Each structure stands twice: as structure tokens, then as C-alpha cells.
Structure 1
């Protein structure tokens, strides 16, 4: 074989190696991309925004609650995603907002159900209670949180509960009245009654 033929063979071999190398790299890239896509399809984080309106002595009230990275107790993920709840109340007299940006999102995600919101009326003004819990509530020690709007005041409480292995739960706050001292008496009484009658089963905390 002469020098020209030898050079041609070497050139063709290099071209073949370059082509096969490119194909191999492309296949690796596609495999990595598909595996990432498959992983991304496993992780579902939902958000929800609800609107409610009512009239009282403050006029027309508009409530908006937005939950980011809302967890679903029936399927993962239950933690690890940045989770936040924002509640806003507007009327002709005031505009107020509470933001709970959960710093412990690596261990829990917010469990929120619209049907759990309740209202009570005092002296012509409605108070709104917005409860939420956490998908990380898997142990005996659990917690629930409550956003409360009344008049021009806003409140956020994180309350501890204990649930036994049978799923029966009770408040686990040493001095609940002291913790709720900023609430008007009628609101405090309403909340405590609700806590002792509606938050007695584990299903209320984790779905």
C-alpha cells in the first residue's frame, strides 16, 4: 500500500472515530436528559389560590389565600420544596396581609384545605380563621397553624398537639391562654372550643 492509500485509510478511520464519538456523546446526553425528565415527572408541587367575599359593618370584604408548594397527603413529595402561604384581607377600611414563609420546608410542606376555613361574627364584624397543617406531621408530636383576621388585626399561631398510636389527638400547649392573649376573648374562646372538638383525630393533621 502506497503512502497516499495509507493516509487515506488513516483519515477515514479518524473520521469514523469522530462520528462514532459524536454519536456516543449524543446518546449519553439524551440518556441523561431523559433520566432528568423522568425524575422531574415524579416530583409534583401544586399551588392553590382561593377567593372568598362577604359583607359586614366594614363593607365588602375580599379574602385571598395563596399556597405555594401545596402538599398532597396521598402522594409525594411531602417535604423538600419551598412552601409558603399568603393570606390577604381587603375592605374599604383596611388592607392587611400575613405571609408565612416556612423556614423548615426541608422537613414539611403545607397541607391546606379550603373547607377548613371558618367564620364567626362579633359586633357586626366577621372574623375569619384559616387553619393549615403539614405533610411532615408523621410522628406523635404534630402541629397546626392558624391565621386569623378580625377588624384591623391579624394573627398567626402555631399550636402543638400530641397524637397517640391509635390516632387520637389532643392539645399539647402548656399555657394556651397565655399564648393566645392577643386575641379578643370571644375569638379566643371560639378557637379553643374548635381546637378541642375538631382537632381530636390524626386525619385532621395529615389528610
Structure 2
């Protein structure tokens, strides 16, 4: 849980008044006050360990101020996700701060994290979604991928028409072009099957 404090100070200043060529210094009533607002933010933390050719890997994911399935709150002051991977080769980390938390918050489904074995080297794949702030036919999902001690993040927009399969607005080949070939090939197949229906975006 994160605690944020906001402080606001208000005060009046001294003014000089010239009235009938006679200067008088007047001190207005000074009101100085501090207003402190405390905001409590929930967070989700999960860890996953796995082995590959690099030895033991420890994946750590923290989401600050995510959507709360038990309430109707879909916006806030901030919302971000931090992902970190540690192994014998070192540490890799990435943080994504949602640029428009006033419109929607990050929605995180822990069970959808998965580890893919690619010839002895494993990729950690962390999806996250959004709640609120989008039209009924527009769906959005983002992925963080950690592979060979490098991090990648990409955002996918989908259009889900009435009675038809959801389709990416931009081709997956174009969106994933900067990923290594083996993980890119796998993700194109995986995403094509994964996000065919509106339900797969957890947005309703």
C-alpha cells in the first residue's frame, strides 16, 4: 500500500496603497493554512521463480493502484507496473507509468503471467490490461517481455466488432518487429489465438 501526501499553502501579501498623495502601508489579514490530503493506493506484488540455461531466475512484478474488481473505481492519480528479473547474468527491470490514469487504470491478472521455453532460454511474458475510458468496440492490452536479460514493452489496440472476431488495429508483425525472431514468432501465434474475443481483454 502506498501513502501519498499533498500539501497546499495559501497566504496574503503586504500591499502599498497611495490615497490622496498619502502613502499608507496596510497589512491585510494573513491567512496561512496547510491542507493535507492522504491518499492510500493499493498494490499487487507477485513473484515467480524458474530455471533455464542462465540458472535460477526470479521474476518480481509490482502494480501500483490497479483496478479494483470489488469496486467501480476506474481512474486515479497514478497507475504503474514495475517488472524486474534477476539471474546469474544480472538484473533487468522495466517500469511503465500509465500516462492517462485519470481515464483508466492498469488491470493486472496474475494468473496470465507465463514463462515460455525457447530452446533452453526462457522468456517471461507479463500482460496487463486497462479498465474504463475506452469505447465499447475498442480494446487494449499491453505486454512486457523479458528475454535474454533484455526488456521489451508493446501496446496492442484491437477492434472488436459486433459478432466478429477481434482484430489488431496494426498488424502484429509490425508491432513486434523489434523483438528477437524466436520470441516474435511465438508471440504472433500466441496473440492471434489469445485475443479473438472481447472477454480476453477483461475490460467489461
- TM-score, with length taken from structure 2: 0.74
> Structure 1 CA distance, aligned partners of 2:163 and 2:69?
19
- More moved, 137-146 vs 47-56: 137-146
Instruction: Give the drift of 1:80.
Output: 2.5
Work out whether residues 81 and 109 of structure 1, in 8 Å CA contact, stay in contact via their aligned partners in 2. no
| Bigger strand fraction | 2
Aligned counterpart, 1:149: 146
Distance of aligned partners of 1:44 and 1:166 in 2 relative to their CA distance in 1, 3 Å threshold? farther
Aligned counterpart, 1:194: 190
> How much is the aligned-residue C-alpha RMSD, in angstroms?
2.1
> 3-state SS of the aligned residue for 1:193?
helix
Gaps of 5+ in 1: 1-39
For residues 138-187 of structure 1, what are the alpha-carbon distances to aligned partners after superposition, in whole Å with 9 as ceiling and x for unaligned? 421221100000112110001110112458422111x4323212212221
| Bigger helix fraction | 1
Q: Where does 1:123-138 land on structure 2 (aligned, <5 Å)?
A: 123-136=119-132, 138=134
Gaps of 5+ in 2: 1-37
Aligned counterpart, 2:11: none
> 3-state SS of the aligned residue for 1:71?
coil
Pairing 1:57–2:53 present: yes
Instruction: Give the drift of 1:44.
Output: 8.2
- More moved, 161-170 vs 56-65: 161-170
Instruction: Give the drift of 1:190.
Output: 1.4
Instruction: Give the drift of 1:137.
Output: 5.7
Pairing 1:106–2:86 present: no
- TM-score, with length taken from structure 1: 0.73
| Equivalent in 67, 73, 79 of residue 77 of structure 1 | 73
> Structure 1 CA distance, aligned partners of 2:60 and 2:179?
22
Distance of aligned partners of 1:201 and 1:74 in 2 relative to their CA distance in 1, 3 Å threshold? farther
Distance of aligned partners of 1:98 and 1:90 in 2 relative to their CA distance in 1, 3 Å threshold? same
Point out the structure with max Rg over C-alpha.
Answer: 1
Work out whether residues 72 and 135 of structure 1, in 8 Å CA contact, stay in contact via their aligned partners in 2. no
Aligned length: 165
Aligned counterpart, 1:24: none
Q: Where does 1:16-27 land on structure 2 (aligned, <5 Å)?
A: none
Pairing 1:203–2:186 present: no
> Structure 2 CA distance, aligned partners of 1:98 and 1:156?
9
